[in-house]
Amino acid sequence: MDVLALEAKNVNTADAEKKSAPRPKPKTPKKAKRIVYFEVEILDAKTKEKLLLLDKVEPTATILDIKALFQKSHPKWYPARQSLQLDPKGKCLRDEDILQTLPVGTTASFYFSDLGPQVTWGTVFLTECAGPLIIYLMFYFRLPFIYSPKYDFTSSKHWVVHLACMCHSFHYIKRILETLFVHRISHGTMPLRNIFKNCGYYWCSAAWMPLSLFPPPNCVQLMGSNKSNANNAFAFVKFCQLGNFSIHVALRNLKAQGAKVKKIPYPTKNPFTWIFALVSCPNYTYELGSWIGFSVMTQCVPVAFFTAVGFIQMTVWARGKHRSYLKEFRDYPTLRSSILPFIL
């Protein structure tokens, strides 16, 4: 009985202590963060005239969002046609740039420039490649409206002429297929006027080359007399074309579709990609090698001239890409050159 009474007394004491214990104060809800909206004005880069004033723009809005809002007031200027800069003569802002991360205050001023009618890069690449392929074959098969009747649909007796046609056709067919199935083009569009400039260069070169080859000039007759040299050059062209394709596939696999994060390209298990250890843009290195082999094969001035011009342009692109890698990645391999190992 005494034990039961003692246990009951302990239970009552515990209950009393629980009742007398102070209750925890309820947590006060956190105040929602106040959003500071931006006021964005868009001015004409040439006249400084105010084109639009956007009120209460969210700080997380991107440049693409601002372009879309601008299009609502000016429908003819779709986002791809717009260029927005912080300075009238400054660099064009990227579509993915976020408003609150830009060096602007809550009242931001952007300068607008009209880039003109746009065309997709895929269309440009296909047009650039389809033209030379068709034009070269027109000369190769000696269509009646190009040559005199005695040459209509005739075939050259020189082996190098047929090798050159195979190399040239394979190069542009490969580029067309890569554009359709391999390349992931980061730039959406380019000005329509540029397509005439680019196509003019490629198409005219594709016509100039066979004009010197069909009927074959003395230089091709000289090359044709040495079939082993032509076959060796043909093998080198095939090697470089395969290397160029391997690099394009490696670059495609470097990032997922639509991904914005850039990565450093490194050699893979494919031996053709091992040149990444020495060169930042081996796709240009292989393409240059391919055109050098084509020049050796044909020994033709137009082909050599096209190769030299292409080398200059590819060097400009490669050096720009190399500088971009060095700027974006602190741990970028210092041993690499832009296009030619240890040279350039």
Q: Are strands 50-57 and 118-120 parallel, antiparallel or unpaired?
A: unpaired
Q: Among the three residues 116, 148, 181, which one is the final residue of a domain in this structure?
A: 116
Residues 173 and 107 in one domain: no
Give the domain range for residue 274.
119-328
Residues 263 and 296 in one domain: yes
Q: Higher-confidence residue: 30 or 201?
A: 201
Closest-CA residue to 87 (of 101, 69, 108): 108
Residues 110 and 152 in one domain: no
Number of domain units in the chain: 2
What distance in Å separates the CA atoms of residue 202 and residue 194, rounded to the nearest whole number?
A: 13
pTM score of the predicted model:
0.77
Residues 109 and 145 in one domain: no
User: Quick one: pLDDT band at residue 226, thresholds 50, 70, 90?
Assistant: low
Residue-level pLDDT at 214? 64
Residues 147 and 222 in one domain: yes
Domain annotation covers residue 252: yes
Residues 105 and 124 in one domain: no
Domain annotation covers residue 25: no
Domain annotation covers residue 334: no
Residues 244 and 176 in one domain: yes
Q: Higher-confidence residue: 105 or 272?
A: 272
Domain annotation covers residue 8: no
Q: Among the three residues 89, 116, 143, which one is the final residue of a domain in this structure?
A: 116
Domain annotation covers residue 28: no
Residues 216 and 163 in one domain: yes
Domain annotation covers residue 240: yes
Q: Are strands 118-120 and 189-191 parallel, antiparallel or unpaired?
A: antiparallel
Nearby residues of 295 by Cβ (< 8 Å), 6 or more positions away: 303, 304, 307
In b/e form, how buried is each residue of 51-82, taking b as 16+ CB within 10 angstroms? bbebeebeeebbbbbbbeebeeeeeebebbbb
Q: Among the three residues 47, 81, 116, which one is the final residue of a domain in this structure?
A: 116
> Is 187 a residue whose pLDDT tops 70?
no
Closest-CA residue to 122 (of 171, 175, 179, 174): 179
In b/e form, how buried is each residue of 264-274, taking b as 16+ CB within 10 angstroms? ebeeeeeebbe
- State pLDDT tens for residues 66-122: 999 999 999 989 998 999 999 888 888 988 889 989 988 888 899 999 988 888 888
Residues 55 and 149 in one domain: no
Residues 159 and 249 in one domain: yes
Residues 147 and 73 in one domain: no
Q: Which DSSP helix (H) or strand (E) runs through 330?
A: none
Residues 173 and 151 in one domain: yes
Length of the chain: 344
What distance in Å separates the CA atoms of residue 286 and residue 332, rounded to the nearest whole number?
A: 22
Give SS3 for 219: helix
Q: Which DSSP helix (H) or strand (E) runs through 107?
A: strand 107-114
- Residue 55's CATH number: 3.10.20.90
